[in-house]
Amino acid sequence: MKMQLTEIANAIGIEDVPETWAAITIANVEFDSRKVRPNSLFIPLQGQRDGHEFVDTAIKNGSVATLWAKDHEDVPSDYPALVVDDPLTALQKLAVYYLKKINPKVVAITGSNGKTTTKDMTASLLETEYNVVKTQANFNNGIGVPITLLNMNANTEVVVVEMGMDHPGQLDFLSKMVQPDTVVITMIGEAHIEFFGTRDKIADAKLEITDGLKEDGLFIYNGDEPLLRERSKQVEQQQYTFGESAADDLFASNIQWAKDHTDFEINLVPGKTYRIPMIGKYNVMNALAAIAVAKAYHVDPSKIGDALSNFQITHNRTEWVQGSAGEAILSDVYNSNPTAAKEVLDSFSRTETSGSRMAVLGDMLELGEQSDAMHISLSDHLDPKLISQVYLVGNHMKALEKVLKAKYPNEQIHWYSVEQEDQLIADLHAKLTNKDEILIKGSHGIHLEKVLAGLRDS
């Protein structure tokens, strides 16, 4: 972005500003003082600590102005401070202003699983024809979405926005903020079911992404999900479905996968094989969603294959890396829920290896009263003939441990508390060879990325 500070002030409702502010140009917006760059506008948000405490650090790192909550005293006198009722609300208001100013097409993506991968695939396909900006990392909430919008350059033609939620009303707010031209729902799973109670209510909350959809917009969703098929009747805008069924507008067939890629065909281009650099049928569904968006935006069909096969995967989403012993590690440590865990276990179990397959599974969080049953449900996707060693981490995995001991020899099932990561790493180092493969998956709150880092360190 590039905006004068006076324009920013007016955009958020501040009219009486010093004339000297007209000479100040803002090049970026940042709420983390450690990441502030030259010519930043710093946004002091309330988190575990008050962001106003870090204004001095932001200045040292190059910030040239800040927002300032009016209920905070000691407004800086020697540094431009835009006094507002609430910095977060002002950030969101500025993002809406800037979105209208740049006026790109907006693609909004949500789902219980696969939204980040679908976002990455969609951006890759659209980039073959357009100037595209996409959500970075997991910036998919009321803070991250406006930051994504404010990261746009003046020549941005399409912005691909990932949207997450864990409570009703969140997607309604985000959708109405960005007024998308296209919305995508990848699937309905059990993520955050602790806060919703049922998958039906999760589906209701996911459908909120259509609340801000433009009247001439497009709703793309997984047509194999009955909960979405049923709720799609509430949406008046044009619709397009993807899945495995011939009843879908876009469907996949002849799905085949190897260790580091998956091949498939689609009904729209018979006989042509597409490849994605990821394993699993569930990632083919994500690719179909991206292809559906590309079709809606008239991307040259001849460019889709190469763009899909070379898209950049967000770190730690079913990503193969190498451990210090030479073992192949399938890293999927960013998050986990029952649907996603079952899918990746099924795919991992079918990879080719001359050694052993092992799995490290961390607690799946926010499952509420159904937690034990949902952890136990992973048992059907763990076969001692295919995955020889299972390492479980966290209190919720205790329920799965009891069931697995009925089908695995005791010495092949291992349980650890979240505080025993060093012991887990040591035990894995003692077991792994350069012929083995290991899957690491768990909810982000279990921090299995530390185990991943321990295995990669020599």
DSSP annotation string for 69-123:
ETTSS---SSS-EEEES-HHHHHHHHHHHHHHHH--EEEEEE-SSSHHHHHHHHH
Is 117 annotated as contributing to ligand binding? yes
Token pair 């997984």 in the structure block, residue: 222
State how far the Cα of 118 lies from the Cα of 101, in Å rounded to an integer: 27
State how far the Cα of 426 lies from the Cα of 418, in Å rounded to an integer: 14
Is 111 annotated as contributing to ligand binding? yes
State how far the Cα of 119 lies from the Cα of 314, in Å rounded to an integer: 10
Full strand arrangement of the beta sheet holding 28-30: 28-30, 40-42, 63-69, 81-84
Is 394 annotated as contributing to ligand binding? no
State how far the Cα of 191 lies from the Cα of 194, in Å rounded to an integer: 8
Is 114 annotated as contributing to ligand binding? yes
Q: What angle do CA 110, 113, 114 make, to 5 degrees?
A: 75
Is 318 annotated as contributing to ligand binding? no
State how far the Cα of 423 lies from the Cα of 444, in Å rounded to an integer: 20
State how far the Cα of 209 lies from the Cα of 175, in Å rounded to an integer: 5
State how far the Cα of 103 lies from the Cα of 298, in Å rounded to an integer: 19
Q: Which residues contribute to the annotated binding site for ATP?
A: 111-117
Q: Which residues contribute to the annotated binding site?
A: 111-117
